[in-house]
Amino acid sequence: MASQLATLRKDLSAPGLIRVVREQFSRITDTRRQGSIRFTLPDTLCAALAMFQFKRPSLLQFDEASHGDQTIIGNLRRLYWLDEVASDSQMRDILDLVKPSELRKAFRAIHSSAQRGKVLEDFAIFDNRYLLSIDGTGLYSSTKVKCPQCSVKKHRNGEIEHYHQSLVAVIVHPDQKTVLPLDFEPIVKSDGDKKNDCERNAAKRLLLAIHQLYANRPFIVLEDALAANGPHIQALMGYGMDFIINIKPVGNASLFEVMHERFLLNQATEEEQRLVDGSGRGYRFATDLPLNASHPDTRVNMIEYWEVDQNDPEKVTLNMELDHQPGDHQRERLRDRASRQNAPVPDPTSGGRRLVTVAAYPIAIWSVP
């Protein structure tokens, strides 16, 4: 048993993982005419992987290092089994033909290795489920260099920005310093002109792919407020995925109204705890709320969280989006707090209570079990 575990852990070493990925690369169909091939597809994909792992900022820089830097040349040989690396323009020509979705199998293989090596167990949370954080990330941006697949953004000053973004799904755990990348989906030009459209359309493809590849893995999907819309939440529910999604009053006004009504009707659970140092924290939550008027049958739970400043009890750190004027919801919250404490209702805009803000999922909705 011990030797079996040792073997499993060896698979999770850098050389072991690169071997697993390379094996998947070798299964991708090479659409080039076989007679003219000098650099194989697995070799070129491995070289691209090395470029990222060696943190080279560009193909050209990697090209130069892989032909001149003896340490890199040695590592390419030892870790990636590469005697020779294609030039940056050759690499572009070869890799442009590979569909990004073909690389999905490599992520799946790494995930299986992590599972066999018992690493996945360290990430289990809430009855053996897994927190899957999904968010968009930028890979490239330029006002000068572009390609036909670039997304395009026109700035107010007339400047045209060309960029590439990807939606990335990563298994996270509050006690783990590392994360386990699970899947990715490029946001492509045809996904739309607005950031929201782009992420939403890419998210549709990503969720479907995750559902197909990990149908039996119980996920709790973590997402920002862009995901707090009916079609996306219904897709999550349809795939049997639980979720915790950050919301903002500007995008989910009706939820905040319903929450306030529930509070007034004593149908919300609320707790505020004061610590000896004068600081405090509190939360309010309610269950089974309609997402919005268009999706009354999509039911969610909602939680709000706030903190009270240690040195200034009048300074309430509210669970709002960053840097904007106190909105109706904040006034309501202060009115609610004041009515509980039988204190006069302060006007948050007049400097009575100062409002500061926090980020990171302070207001969230989650799936109704």
Residue ranges that bind Zn ion, judged by CB under 5 A: 147, 149-150
Helices first, then strands: H and E counts in the chain: 11, 12
The least distance separating Zn ion from the CB of residue 45, rounded to whole angstroms, comes to 19
The least distance separating Zn ion from the CB of residue 139, rounded to whole angstroms, comes to 9
Other Cβ atoms closer than 10 A to 199: 25
The least distance separating Zn ion from the CB of residue 165, rounded to whole angstroms, comes to 11
The two structure tokens encoding residue 62: 């990697």
Residue type, 86: A
Q: Please say which residue, 148 or 174, places its beta carbon nearer to Zn ion.
A: 148
On whether the CB atoms of residues 177 and 196 are closer than 8 A, the answer is no
Q: Please say which residue, 149 or 269, places its beta carbon nearer to Zn ion.
A: 149
Residue 241 to residue 223: CA distance in whole angstroms: 12
The two structure tokens encoding residue 315: 């300074």
Question: Residue with structure tokens 């909105």?
Answer: 327
Q: Please say which residue, 147 or 250, places its beta carbon nearer to Zn ion.
A: 147
Residue 132 to residue 225: CA distance in whole angstroms: 15
Q: Please say which residue, 89 or 149, places its beta carbon nearer to Zn ion.
A: 149
The least distance separating Zn ion from the CB of residue 142, rounded to whole angstroms, comes to 8
The least distance separating Zn ion from the CB of residue 138, rounded to whole angstroms, comes to 12
User: CA-CA-CA-CA torsion for 227, 232, 235, 239, nearest 10 degrees?
Assistant: 0
Q: Please say which residue, 76 or 150, places its beta carbon nearer to Zn ion.
A: 150
The least distance separating Zn ion from the CB of residue 151, rounded to whole angstroms, comes to 8
Please give the angle made by the CA atoms of 356, 289 and 337, to the nearest 5 degrees: 35
Q: Which residues pair with 281 in a beta bridge?
A: 273, 307
Q: Please say which residue, 97 or 356, places its beta carbon nearer to Zn ion.
A: 97
Q: Which residues pair with 302 in a beta bridge?
A: 286, 365
The least distance separating Zn ion from the CB of residue 149, rounded to whole angstroms, comes to 5
The least distance separating Zn ion from the CB of residue 189, rounded to whole angstroms, comes to 8
The least distance separating Zn ion from the CB of residue 104, rounded to whole angstroms, comes to 21
Across the chain, where does the E strand assignment appear? 130-142, 151-154, 160-172, 180-187, 219-223, 242-246, 269-274, 280-292, 295-308, 316-318, 355-357, 364-367
Q: Please say which residue, 149 or 310, places its beta carbon nearer to Zn ion.
A: 149
Q: Which residues pair with 299 in a beta bridge?
A: 290
Q: What is the DSSP letter of 346?
A: P
Other Cβ atoms closer than 10 A to 27: 12
Q: Please say which residue, 145 or 276, places its beta carbon nearer to Zn ion.
A: 145
Cα→Cα distances 170→96, 174, 219, 274, 351, Å? 25, 13, 11, 35, 42
Q: Please say which residue, 193 or 328, places its beta carbon nearer to Zn ion.
A: 193
